[in-house]
Structure 1
Amino acid sequence: MPEPTVVPPAPKVTLWTPFVHAVFRAIWIAGLVSNVGTWMQNVAGVWLVTALTASATLVALMQTATSLPAFLLSMPGGVLADLVDRRRLLLFTQGFMAVVAMGLGVLTLSGGISAYGVLGFTFLLGMGAALNLPIWQSIVTELVPRPAVPSAITLNGVSNNIARAIGPAIGGVIIAYYSPGWVFLLNGVSFLGTWAVIYFWKRQPLATNGPAENFIGALRAGMRYVQYSPAIYGVLARTFAFSFGASAMWALTSVVVKSLNLSAGHYGATLSWLGAGAVTGAVLMGRAGSRLSFNQRVLLGVLAFVGTNLALALVSQIQVLYAVMFVSGIAWLLVMTSFSTTVQLSVPKWVQARVISVYMLVFQAGLSVGSLVWGELADHLSLRTSLLAAAGWMLASTLLAFPFPMRSAEGLNLDPAEHWPAPETEGPIDPDDGPVLVMIEYQVAPANWAAFHLAAEQLTRLRLRDGALRAGVFADVAVPTRISEFFYVATWGEHQRQHHRFTREDQVVEACVRRFHQGPEEPRVTHFLAFPNTSNVEVATPIPTLESQR
């Protein structure tokens, strides 16, 4: 009798596992260099505007020029990342930012730049970054196996925090001894380095099934997916609550340092301690992260930021503040990697970049609105009152863990099910024809109606999430055991895309509904296409009367 084959256990995933994959390793190193260049650029840009003008408004507009493009372009960037080859888009965005940064450097060194010119170039760089970031985040799942995705996302966070710790210092040295123009040129070179790594990446194109989506349709599909995905809008609600409260630290730490009669060097040191804490947090997560669920990580991080805001309000010694910022860096990485990992692992590839762009938009909105609110409170009441209010907000936000728990998404199978047979038609149908009505007829015993209704509600949500404009369940008044599920789709092409959007995970929900069906045959599926010249509207067309025809 042959001995059974013993399958060796899969190797344990650690923080460093993603570095085993050569492409991820190369892109991570290039990204680190580029992040350092970006933080150098930020320091040099603000310093140059300060030197060129006495207007505080123009200096403040540098932050607007950096962040505004994210509000305008992050969602379009996500749509493009799902519709167009991501490698080509990255080559475009990295090349665009390289040209802009080098152009600013040349003009600065030649003395032909003004404060308004710096603002304009900064806005262009922000446009490139806004288009680049959804693509950059969404390729993580292509570079490493699914079990290593959380570690890869953590390492990307480490890259940004290392750059935050050393980039401003390097930029400051170059500015002091040479010129901001050289910083801009070096930043441009860093983008070219990333461009070269992406160029040599032999990316396997994702398989595309069904008719191609247009831009507006794809944008609507992404918003609809978020609307009907409780796991996603739960993460978005908690992301906004966290970024809104945590923005007090980012907005008011410099004011706290100034109120203690300390120098700008002390403020820079607090940011360095914050970055060091984030890097330490990544190491701690690599060793003990598997013991904590994403929900526990977020709760710990939020509670840590309650302490951060309290300490900023009450602490008067800089050494204690350094320790607080170190712990805050750990908490920041803990929370943000948990949010980002949950989002990326909870959505299939066809809509991944679009959902990431919505997540980024919500995060930026929380930071921006929160900074404004806490700043206004500090101006009209007091700095301490504002920080105490932010601590109270963070404490109250822990209650969101009850309606919006963070569930693990690592075990989800989001591969396309591809189990629906192609509809039988007499001839080819134009993808733009529609609307389309799909009817699925079940035979359900009265004793199972309540349970069937609950299961059908889950399936209805999936229909709406994947493209249906309307969906529901009706019972035949003449034969109550005959229950029909329907969903209504705008076009034939959109329904074809539905066939390829349904995942293995969704099959479990569909199977729960179908197990209530009784009878020798499978549930009957019928497709109806709008009668010729019927417009795709929700309002009934009046039937002409004899009087109207005279």
Structure 2
Amino acid sequence: MRAIRLPRLSSLRAFEHPGYFAVWLGALISNIGTWMETVAMGVYVTEQTGRAEWTGAIVALTYLPSVLLSPVGGALADRFDRRAYVALGSSVQLALAAVLTLLAFTHHLSVPIIGVISLLNGCASTLTSPAFSAMLAELVPPRDLHSALSLSSAQFNLGRIIGPLLAAVVLQAGGASWALLVNTLSFVAVLVAVSRVPSMKRDSDAKKPRGSLWTGITQGFSVVRADPEISLVMTSTLVVSVLVAPFIGLVPVFAIKVFGQGASATSLLVACQGAGAVVAAVTVGSLVDMVGQRRLLVLVSMSIGVVSAVYWLAPTLTLAAAGIFLLGANYMMLMSGLHAYATSRVPREFQARVSSLYSMALGAGYASGVWGLGAMADRVGVRFVTVTASVLFLAMVVTLRLLSPRTFESSQA
């Protein structure tokens, strides 16, 4: 494949490398389908149960496996051809999506069944994601790793824009079963894209993981513990995912229970979040060049609590859409920046394992946060719980800034 030349905008540098764009495009098509399914199932569960706790619980089941399986996925990704490993994981997800589609068309769909399939899909995704991230890292040189991960986040959020908009149309025209069918077919795009990537060989036998799988897992934890900067990234990721990230899974609850609307409002909010993230992904490389990676992380970590509170306090759907646009941009810059910063600090043979531990922190925090905030929202109100969480996060960041200013000033990148 011929390289794509986009030299003037540093955020797009990863597109210059052969193979990267094919994987990026295949993942985009798949994510469009995934977000169609996410909107359809979020609306279905919220309308069927009328409880934010159930909506949060279903989302949590998708991320819960990351608590145990992320380190396993990272260790496995460093042992096998990552291209083949990603293809296998995508095939499993395709099969699970097909089962969900069949149940919907035969009118056997239910909330418990959605929960079981969400859990299994979470297992497959958790075991595959570290290999996918490491595969992207192998397709670009180290200097373009931040661009590659930011553009990966951008395609995920482009899917978040296009998928919900298509879902609103499909749900109105044919119902949830047709949205699930589109998602099933979308996994084919990933398989085609990955097939175009050459088999990935290790640089030398010395860099191949040695010993048992458990040894590989413990080595990943040792790398994180040995580097205070990576440890700080993991702690930050956990806190953000508990207190701020649940805004993603609770969108249907906000649209339906606060604004009294359904699929169309849910799709609008999800799409606006994705639009904000895409704008941030295109510009974040230039911002990193101007202010440095670490300083940018400081700025967005200081602002995200405020932006999150403003979104949850929005009095109208229109203002909420504007708020989630800004929140989506802020969240994308923070999380992709944390991920890239941690991954760039280790040799390539450890990148999948460090990426898996990042996913573990994100998944564990998000699963507990989205379920916990959803459960409390049913009892004391959506706005009160979510705004309190946002303010608590801001207070924690400010406190750390005051007590340990060097934490924010050292190791500028």
Alignment TM-score, normalising by the size of structure 2: 0.85
Q: Which amino acid in 1 is paired with 2:290? A: R
Matches within 5 A, 1:125-524: 125-206=121-202, 207-209=204-206, 212-247=210-245, 249-250=247-248, 261-264=259-262, 265-312=264-311, 314-375=313-374, 378=377, 383=382, 385-386=384-385, 387-388=387-388, 390-400=390-400, 402=405, 404-405=407-408
Change (3 A) 1:125 1:378: closer
Normalized against structure 1, the TM-score is what?
0.65
Give 4+ residue runs of structure 1 displaced > 6 Å after superposition. none
Post-superposition offset of 1:330 = 1.8
- Structure 1 unmatched runs, 5+: 1-10, 411-550
Q: Does 1:74 align with 2:73?
A: no
Q: Which residue of 2 aligns with 1:95?
A: 91
The size of the alignment, in residue pairs, is: 399
2:120 is aligned to: 124
1:297 Cα shift? 1.5
CA distance in 1 between counterparts of 2:8 and 2:411 reads: 18
- What is the letter of the counterpart of residue 334 of structure 1? M
Give the Cα separation in 1 of the matches to 2:379 and 2:180: 38
Q: Would you say the 8 A contact 1:235–1:404 is kept in 2?
A: no
Partners of 2:26 and 2:192 within 8 A in 1: no
State the distance in 2 between where 1:260 and 1:252 align. 11
Tell me the distance in 2 between the aligned counterparts of 1:47 and 1:83: 40
In structure 2, give the amino acid aligned to 1:300. Answer: L
Contact 2:311 / 2:324 at 8 angstroms: preserved in 1?
no
Cα distance, 1:63–1:96 mapped onto 2, change above 3 Å? same
Q: SS of the residue aligned with 1:15? A: helix
Describe the superposition over 1:501-524 as per-residue Cα deviations: whole angstroms up to 9, x where unpaired: xxxxxxxxxxxxxxxxxxxxxxxx
Alpha-carbon offset, residue 205 of structure 1: 0.6
Contact 2:60 / 2:367 at 8 angstroms: preserved in 1?
A: no
Deviations 1:76-121 (A, max 9, x none): 1111001222112112111111222223323433445555444333
CA contact (8 A) 1:245 1:394 kept: no
Larger helix proportion, structure 1 or 2?
2
CA contact (8 A) 1:83 1:213 kept: no
Relative to structure 2, which stretch is displaced further, 362-371 or 163-172?
Answer: 362-371
The match for 1:448 is: none
Q: Which one of the candidate residues 46, 63, 67 is aligned to 2:59? A: 63
After superposition, what is the alpha-carbon deviation per residue over 1:332-363, rounded to whole angstroms, capped at 9, x for unaligned?
12111210110111111222111111111112
Identical-pair percentage: 25
Maintained 8 Å contact 1:293/1:408: no
Contact kept, 8 Å, 2:83 with 2:194, in 1: the verdict is yes
> Is the partner of 2:64 in helix, strand or coil?
helix
Range moving further from structure 2, 348-357 or 37-46: 37-46
Whether the 8 Å CA contact 2:164–2:270 is kept in 1: the answer is no
Residue 33 of structure 1 corresponds to 29
Inter-partner Cα distance in structure 1 for 2:102 and 2:261: 32
SS at the partner of 1:202? coil
Return the letter of the residue paired with 2:145: V
Q: Does the Cα contact within 8 Å between 1:274 and 1:328 map onto a contact in 2?
A: yes
Letter in 1 for 2:397: S
Is the alpha carbon distance of 1:407 and 1:192 closer, same or farther for their aligned partners in structure 2, counting shifts above 3 Å?
Answer: farther
Kindly indicate which of the two structures has a greater share of residues assigned to strand. 1
**How far does residue 150 in structure 1 lie from its aligned partner after superposition?**
0.9
